[in-house]
Each structure stands twice: as structure tokens, then as C-alpha cells.
Chains A and B, each alone.
Chain A
Amino acid sequence: MSAEYATSAEKSLPWLKFANPRNFYPLAGKMIPWFTALAIIFTLIGLYISFFVAPTDYKQGESYRIMFIHVPAAWMSMFIYIVMACYAAIGLIWNIKLSDMMAGALAPTGAIFTFLALWTGAFWGRPTWGAYWVWDARLTSELILLFLYLGFISLRAAIDDPRRAARASGLLALVGVINVPIIYYSVKWWNTLHQGASVSVTESPKMASIMLTAMAVMAFAFWMYTIAVVLARVRTDILEREREAVWVVEEVSRTA
């Protein structure tokens, strides 16, 4: 591809050059296949452990297998929000365009995992608690997280000027961070129907450790998936935002 472009500041801090969309674009392109491969491998291992290695739960029967995607999806919903808010903060403080684009690219994936945490939770709650939904502190705060993601996405879509959109949505993302510890500690602070930290649901230690392995492998698979899909999304955003740049004109004219 094109020669790398670096300012003097970027020469003294070499990795900083990847804050430049022009240098980040080809790097992201090279990273996507690796994260995709890892996501596929870990999904297959995770599903295998979830369905064929982990034994039937003596209390809940087979419905507890929903946990192997429910818990990782819920973790992702919170992790992605924190990462998104960090990118938004870096974008706001140092006025780095790529950082704002990363925040924007993370939001849809975060919203999807939040929805999936709620959805799988509903389908686990029905056979376990007898209800798809209750206005429990854990469930309600997770629903608020979904609205925060959707608000962030809509706000960006509603403002035409990308710099103003970055500032407004970045502030929303930062204010919303307060909700993440509320979700996390909700099971301690309030008397919830939702169980406490799932990592300690230990009856026999052997079973707990295989369950923990399945959840960790699935969480890792979701992380790899997230990185791959977010990098792919941000590459398109870079092309759109930098469409005036010569390298983008060359890049889009190459194949299409």
C-alpha cells in the first residue's frame, strides 16, 4: 500500500502513527483475519464445552446452559461500554478523530451484546424464575445500558457535523459510565431476584471450574468477534470521513 506518513511527534512515539487514520486503515485490515480466526476457533471450543463437556445441572437441568452465552454477553455489554467511553474521552481531550471513530464503531456491537444479555436472560429467567422479565435492579440497569447505547448511536446520527457529533455523544458516553458500576453492584446493593456474581455458583468445585472455563472461552470468543467486527466497521467509517484525502480516493479506485 501507500508509504507510511508520520509527523515529528509520531517519530518520537512510533506507535502514535496509528492514531492517524491513514496508517491505521491498512493495519486494521491486516488484523481482521487473525481476530476472525480466533473468534471462530474459540466459539467452536466454547460451544463444545458448553454442550458436550459441562454436565447437566442437578437443580436447573439443561436450561442453565444459557449461562454460557448469557454471562459473556453481559460482560461484553459492560466492557464494551467502558472501552467506548475511554475512546470517547481520548477523542474529547486530545481531539483525536480516530478515537471518536472507534467509539462510534464500538456502540452498535455493544448494543447488540446488551440486547443479547437481556434476551438470553429472559429465556433463562422463564424456566428458572417463572417470568421473562421482572423490574429487578440488575435487569433494569442493564436495560438502561441498552438505552444509553441507543441514545449514543442516535445522537451521532442526528448531528451532521462530525466534530459536534463527537463532542455531544462523547459527553453522553462519559456521563453514562456511572451506570456500569450500578449494573455490576446492583446484586449487592439491592435485594434482587437476579443471583449474585455468577462465578461463585459453586456446588461441586469440579463442575464450577468447567462452567467457568466454558464462560471464559465464550467471553474470549466474543471479544475476538468484537475486535474483528469493530475494526471492519471503523475501516468503512475512515473511508467516509476521509473521503477527500488522496489515499482514500486511490484506495476506493483500486478495486471497485
Chain B
Amino acid sequence: MNWESFSDFIQMGKHGFYVWSSYGVTALFLAIEILLVRRKRQVVRKRLARLARLDTTLEK
């Protein structure tokens, strides 16, 4: 085991700032990417569904 306590783990020797900035930003960017892909999918589906409904009403 590398760490004697939780605060020891957070401090990462003297390099906590560098280690957590790296891992934190990586996690943040991947999370944002997932959210953006999901949101775009919902937006596109909604817009296309609306267009489809509009087409069927126009045909009638």
C-alpha cells in the first residue's frame, strides 16, 4: 500500500496539485464530451421529430 492515510493520498508527496490537475481535467473533459454528445442527440432527435410531424400534417 502506497498511502498511510487519505490526506497522504490527496497530497501525493508534494505533487498533489500537479497530479490532481492532470487527472481532474482529464475526467472533466471526458465527462463534458459525453454530456455534449448526449445533448446534441436529444436536440437533433427532437428537431427531426418535429419536422416529421410537420410533414405529415402538411400531407393531410
Contacts and interface: CB of A to CB of B under 8 A. Distances in A.
Interface of A: 51-52, 54-56, 61-63, 65-66, 69-70, 73, 108-109, 112, 115-116, 119-120, 123-124, 126-127, 225, 229, 232-233, 235-236, 239-240, 243, 248-249, 252-253, 255-256
Interface string B21-60: 1110110011001100110110011101101110100000
28 contacts: A51-B9, A52-B3, A62-B16, A63-B12, A63-B19, A65-B19, A66-B19, A69-B22, A69-B23, A70-B22, A116-B25, A116-B26, A116-B29, A119-B25, A120-B22, A124-B18, A229-B33, A229-B37, A233-B40, A240-B44, A240-B48, A243-B48, A249-B55, A252-B45, A252-B48, A252-B49, A253-B53, A256-B49
Given A236-B37, A256-B49, A62 B29 contact: no
Contacts of A62: 12-16, 19
Contacts, number: 96
Residue from B9, B12, B48 whose CB has the most chain A CB atoms within 10 Å: B48
Interface of B: 1-3, 9, 12-16, 18-19, 21-23, 25-26, 29-30, 33-34, 37-38, 40-41, 44-46, 48-49, 51-53, 55
B22 A119 contact: yes
A65 B37 contact: no
Nearest to A70: B22
Nearest to A230: B37
A239 B14 CA distance: 50
Contact of B13 (A55, A63, A115, A235): A63
Given A126-B18, A127-B15, 19 more contacts: A51-B9, A52-B3, A63-B19, A66-B22, A109-B33, A112-B29, A116-B26, A119-B25, A120-B25, A123-B18, A124-B22, A127-B18, A232-B41, A233-B37, A233-B40, A239-B44, A252-B52, A253-B52, A256-B49
Given A69-B23, A252-B52, A225 B13 contact: no
Contacts of B53: 253
